[in-house]
Structure 1
Amino acid sequence: MDRQYKNILATASKELENLKGQTFDVIDVKCPSSIDYAVQLAKVISKLSPLIGNLIEFSTVDLLNQHDWNASGEWLRQDPGFPDALFKSDNILPNPGIEIKAWFPFATEITARFKDSVTLFKPNHINVALIAWLPEYVIFGKPKIIDVLIVSGKSVAEARDKHYHKPPHYLVLEPEDTKDRTGNLQQTNTNGYRIQPEQCNIEEAKEVVENWGEELLKYSPKKKYQDLIRSLWSQFSYRLDTNYAKIDRIEHREIEKFKTRVENSLFNGKIIKEWSRILTSSDDETLISELQLLLGNK
């Protein structure tokens, strides 16, 4: 049984990796009819990112179901729900899944978040797919997959907890136990809290943590440790970190390598980070010159 879900997950992950270089026929931004139109489009194309990202996520589930799974189950899109794609099967347990994160590399960072508790990944049966895409002609055309990274969800959650959790300055809190509630009311997300030194005695907070002992500085989702964290959280002043768990900030080694690889990928005659610099620059003369070349080559 263990091998079955691992095989399903490995095959599905390979199918997604094979998307590299393909275009998705989900939307087609028409070629600008003038350079003025192109300049304006260049300034707003990033606003399409959430929509196209969702369309790519929907399409990947359809793509996975094109594979022959020998009647053992099918991939379902969970929206809302975790993970995004779940292999629903009565025979293969636990059901493997893939959390899909689309990334538009012209954005300033990978803004997708990963707040799901590490406890959800105990069998290591859920992967994360990071799919980088751009319009096939930089600012127009169909979405083109630049690259795909597949990593285990457990590794992402562990990297996040290790990066953020630094008591007493920063706390990662597991969701409260809600397993007795109906599915839509169950809590699965962690949250990050930053201490407010101007509103409490931080030296006293440090002393409390020092009394825990060295072995309790390492993060744990277990109840005994979480009770310690919640006690600290209630005793001192903390605020919710609204930037918590952005994938770009958790310092996952493979994700960092992937980001660098994508930014340095050649795309329509330039590396992607150079296109990003041109499109976000206030130098309209350079932008117009590059867009003229782009339209001329189309």
Structure 2
Amino acid sequence: MTVEPPVSPEAAVNLSKIISKLSPILGNLIEFNVVEYLDDQEEFAGQGTWLRQDPGFPDAVFDGVTPQPGFEIKAWFPLSTEITARFKDSQNHFTDNNTDVCMLAWLPEKILYGKPQIIDVVIVSGRSVAEARDNHYHNPPHYLVREPENTENRTSNLQQTNTNGYRIQDPTEDQLRRANELIESWGPDGRKYQPTHEYQEKLRELMSIANYRLDTNYAKMDRIVHPGLEEFKSRVLKLKSNHPISTACLSVG
């Protein structure tokens, strides 16, 4: 994949506004190629097959052993404002801790055009990302993380696996008082997020006290404060190169 050089300064400005949108395409291309590459490795011969899942989570799994190891790929263009990729899968999907998240930072050869180049990679446990997300966002009664409904009886394309975030909407003092009293009745761990059915029922009762709205910015990986991802972000944004534009851009972040 190659992005052609802009033909004018105006075209360069327009290109700078949209080039980060190549991240999903780049991520998909990497998924295809990595699965084919891994399947050619001798260490996996006779044990199983690497498969790309679309749709499905994670992006790639090793079919042949149980539990299935797998990985989810996220691509990040570091000259954009933040890591816009989201991670919404429930903690309940990581009980075996067999799925990793691979985040790839990339830039075109010439900053705005050329072939994409991977400049850094981080690999972290998917379970650790889900736990960091829920611990960061969940703050009852002001913000609630909710698990998906039980959809096991549905076909695979209709099964729900994602959590969602909800913000309280213009609560009255009385609503906040009642909400906090209810949370206190749950015991010392009442404000700590739990992906269990019992805790979700408690949250359902809490949401009946006040109005909550769905948060469309929920689960952005730039905001979940995961130690490994934060270190990766810092490392990438401190990168230097011999290209004067790239040095300036990465320094500004």
Regarding TM over 0.5, the answer is: yes
**Partner SS for 1:201:** helix
Amino acid at match of 1:155: S
2:238 and 2:251 in contact (8 A); partners too: no
Stretch of structure 1 that moved more, 103-112 or 207-216: 207-216
Which structure has greater helix proportion? Answer: 1
**Partner SS for 2:4:** coil
Corresponding residue to 1:132 among 100, 105, 115: 105
The 2-side partners of 1:273 and 1:212 are apart by 52
2:238 and 2:250 in contact (8 A); partners too: no
**Partner SS for 1:232:** helix
2:168 and 2:213 in contact (8 A); partners too: yes
Cα offset, 1:272, TM superposition: 5.2
2:167 and 2:214 in contact (8 A); partners too: yes
Aligned-pair identity (%): 56
- For residue 250 of structure 1, what is the aligned residue in structure 2? 224
Tell me the C-alpha RMSD between the 2 structures: 2.3
Cα offset, 1:119, TM superposition: 0.5
Query: For residues 1-298 of structure 1, what are the structure 2 equivalents within 5 Å?
Result: 27-32=1-6, 37-68=11-42, 69-89=44-64, 92-198=65-171, 201-270=175-244, 274-275=248-249
Amino acid at match of 2:215: D
Amino acid at match of 1:240: L
Offset from partner CA, 1:204-241 (integer Å, 9 cap, x none): 21121122221222111111111111111133211111
Cα offset, 1:58, TM superposition: 3.1
1:105 and 1:272 in contact (8 A); partners too: no
Stretch of structure 1 that moved more, 53-62 or 80-89: 53-62
- TM-score scaled by structure 1? 0.77
Stretch of structure 1 that moved more, 230-239 or 266-275: 266-275
CA change 1:58–1:153 in 2 (3 A) is same
- TM-score scaled by structure 2? 0.90
Cα offset, 1:180, TM superposition: 2.4
2:237 and 2:251 in contact (8 A); partners too: no
1:106 and 1:273 in contact (8 A); partners too: no
Amino acid at match of 1:80: P
Q: Give the gaps of 5 or more residues in structure 1.
A: 1-26, 281-298
1:138 and 1:268 in contact (8 A); partners too: no
Offset from partner CA, 1:26-61 (integer Å, 9 cap, x none): x01234456565455344433433333433333332
